[in-house]
Structure 1
């Protein structure tokens, strides 16, 4: 699943506009993922870092700093920090989820082992903390360290909430903020902070990243039930088969009668799935308007992201970031 499912690609425009600075970010990443004493570290890290990811989060840091008029060197350090945190979480996630593929390639835990993935992820977290101290800005350190804690907290919350029918929309939102939005909002917020922007602009950048991350994750969860598998790279119903309680199902469970609730308990909580259960789940989601309501939520968060950016100085970078907020939900039209 990715941002390549429609023709216009604002993230490609961002990459072109920020190409020189992203080259500096990538050079710093390669330099800091080196290890004199443990060659396994650069081997594992390079496998993931060089896998062709879009580097959207570090680009958001660079873009935010540029929009706010920053002309120093440290937005590059912060962008690399954000990418290290992201890469560390991916290594850990693939172990937790027992994943075999990421970005179309075998995962590090499959090519090496779980121990290597976890420990190299720990190394990257440590490297990210070294990097985030270098600008000498305590507020930046606070934002990024808080984000790292929120991500970890969200992952643990998801372990307990993912198959519990008592999980409501507030808990779902807390999980989404942990797994996706926290790093988006930190990435944009630190760009404004390092530029010395006023508190209103910094808050607007935080709000943009938060809303963009939530919109993206809700869209991702919705497309699991209504997407085109040839376009998304996922099979329709993967989340259902993996017993993940995402927003469409949470909405359907909230509206369920006794018989429908028993169906969700059997398939999601107990994991006793039978032939035809996915089709019945889709029928219930449509019966209660859960798919359309989820779509409206995603579009609403996209609008919040766009409204936040409207408070920042007009520039081509700002306009592309507004387009990006439309783009993450364009798959739902």
Structure 2
């Protein structure tokens, strides 16, 4: 079937309409999340619930539910795959916090701070296993292929980031490859699920590309917010990326555009891990004064525009417009 001609939808910057339109299915996802996180080993549901119930927006599972609805899917595979998406995302957060030695996640102490690194890694592995059980239950080899590839890609991104950690010479290409793998791959899998489940695989490349570009825009804004967001709203401390030695795009741009004193500052903080009191406000001044934050936002908007172009290839309908709102939200959010 050929998609009807349509102009790219405009995005208003709101996820409330998507949340409302899939509310009944999302409640089923939340119930399935609790069901499959259960275990006779008490530590497993305790750690899983600590993160899953801590206030995440459920954007990825909502996108799976929304794209399934976009193509008229009526089974229960969307609920299973949306749950699998949230499990995969939660597992990556548990693993990330261990690798990054993070102290906070979603406004709470990171699970590793309560139960330790070993338990966090192992429960993350458990959730990945549960995700794949749900994928198998759906019975779609195409969906299983998409999600298994995403899982492998995310792991590659983690290793790539680790290999280039605390290194300002890795460059923008390295950074983009990391966020393409770590963030965009799961967004792409989440949005590819709808056309696969609905038997509309002809639309899969466009929807997969939509998710990928949306994920890139989302992560770029995340990295901007690390310098100018509100700690209470972010659920983590402003400047955490700096403290963890992450050479994000704003840092790489500020480093390249700065003078010798600026570069020495970034080398001390990022490469030597020597972050002193007052360094975060200094970093904020540098990423602003060099135009690094504005450039990162500009690039995020560029990926958002490409996401909307991808989405315009899907059938024109009210649901498509609702999904387009998520694009605007991704680049306009304050936390």
What is the TM-score of this pair, normalised by structure 2?
0.88
Distance 1:100 1:283 in 2: 25
Distance change in 2, residues 1:267/1:41 (3 Å)? closer
Match of 2:204 in 1: 202
Q: In structure 1, what is the Cα distance between the partners aligned to 2:229 and 2:47?
A: 32
Match of 1:79 among 74, 77, 82: 82
Structure 2 CA distance for aligned equivalents of residues 248 and 289 of structure 1: 9
1:176 to 1:103, Cα distance in 2 relative to 1, 3 A: same
1:316 and 2:318 equivalent? Answer: yes
Q: Which of 134, 137, 156 is matched with 2:137 structurally?
A: 134
Query: How far is the alpha carbon of 1:228 from its aligned partner?
Result: 4.6
Residues 263 and 131 of structure 1: is their aligned pair in 2 closer, same or farther, counting only changes over 3 Å? same
1:292 and 2:294 aligned? yes
Question: Do the aligned partners of 2:189 and 2:211 also contact (CA within 8 Å) in 1?
Answer: yes
* Structure possessing the higher relative contact order (Cα contacts under 8 Å, 6 or more residues apart): 2
Cα 1:104–1:237 shift into 2, 3 Å = closer
- TM-score w.r.t. the length of structure 1 is 0.88
Check the 8 A contact 1:151/1:179 in 2, yes or no: yes
2:182 pairs, out of 151, 163, 179, with 179
Note if 1:20 corresponds to 2:6.
no
Instruction: From the superposition, tell whether residues 39 and 253 of structure 1 become closer, same or farther in structure 2 (CA, over 3 Å).
Output: same
Partner Cα separation in structure 2 for residue 144 and residue 251 of structure 1: 33
| Matched position secondary structure for 2:170 | coil
Correspondence 1:37-186 to 2 at 5 A: 37-186=40-189
- Is the CA contact (8 Å cut-off) linking 2:106 and 2:234 kept in structure 1? no
Asked if 2 retains the 8 angstrom alpha-carbon contact of 1:248 and 1:285, the reply is yes
CA contact (8 A) 1:162 1:246 kept: no
Distance 1:256 1:115, change over 3 A: same
Structure 1 match to 2:219: 217
Aligned residue for 1:4?
Answer: none
- Quote the offset at 1:14 in angstroms: 1.7
- Report whether the alignment pairs 1:33 with 2:6: no
Give secondary structure in 2 for the equivalent of 1:328. Answer: helix
Whether the 8 Å CA contact 2:104–2:236 is kept in 1: the answer is no
Distance of 1:210 and 1:75 partners within structure 2: 19
Match of 1:326 in 2: 328
State how far apart, in whole Å, the 1-side matches of 2:164 and 2:277 are. Answer: 25
Q: Give the aligned partner of residue 252 of structure 1.
A: 254
Q: Which stretches in structure 2 are left out of the alignment for 5+ residues?
A: 1-11
Paired position in structure 2 for 1:237? 239
**For the residues of structure 2 that align with 1:133 and 1:95, how far apart are their CA atoms?**
29
Residues in 2 aligned to 1:134 and 1:289: alpha-carbon distance in whole angstroms: 49
Q: Is the 8 A contact 1:57 1:82 kept in 2?
A: yes
Distance 1:20 1:151, change over 3 A: same
- 8 Å CA contact retained: 1:189, 1:205: yes
The residue aligned with 1:270 is 272
